[in-house]
A and B are shown apart, each in its own frame.
Chain A
Amino acid sequence: KNEVEQSPQNLTAQEGEFITINCSYSVGISALHWLQQHPGGGIVSLFMLSSGKKKHGRLIATINIQEKHSSLHITASHPRDSAVYICAGTSGSRLTFGEGTQLTVNP
């Protein structure tokens, strides 16, 4: 069983919709990362969090330590948000990745 599991695998939305991507993780994960992989392949870190909530522009990441669950929200989605979103967990000196969520936002 993978230590980090994401859902959904694929998500299609209309421009302006509120989007939620979920990530569940196992015991031993001490911090949770959210990454964005552009259609061209580049990977950018969005957030790293071990508790609470972080916000950057239209992106919000939350984590519930008791439930071992994190969510990435995108408000007022835009076609330029179309990308693969990846969650990854820190366990010791290692990162373990989810399989990613392919998000497509249609105009």
Chain B
Amino acid sequence: TQLLEQSPQFLSIQEGENLTVYCNSSSVFSSLQWYRQEPGEGPVLLVTVVTGGEVKKLKRLTFQFGDARKDSSLHITAAQPGDTGLYLCAGAGETSGSRLTFGEGTQLTVNP
């Protein structure tokens, strides 16, 4: 069974601070995706990383895929209240086809 562990589970910071969310597994993934979810809504895709060591930037968000394709991180610079939400990482296994395994999520609250 492939598991993705996210840390921290909860994060409450002040506007302007930087933060990093981690997503770790003992399994290798063919790709890893990050989603953001707001209460009562479905997750929204932020980015997909495919290549080990890959770094992608989306405005103030930086995503990194580990060299061994077992872990990933999301770094947010100068967080804003609009960044508040549940951040989920999800991995597509090398043998699981299109099925995604999701982490439990990191609930981020950015206080003004």
Report if A and B associate in a common complex.
no
Residues of A at the B interface (CB closer than 8 Å) are none
Residues of B at the A interface (CB closer than 8 Å) are none
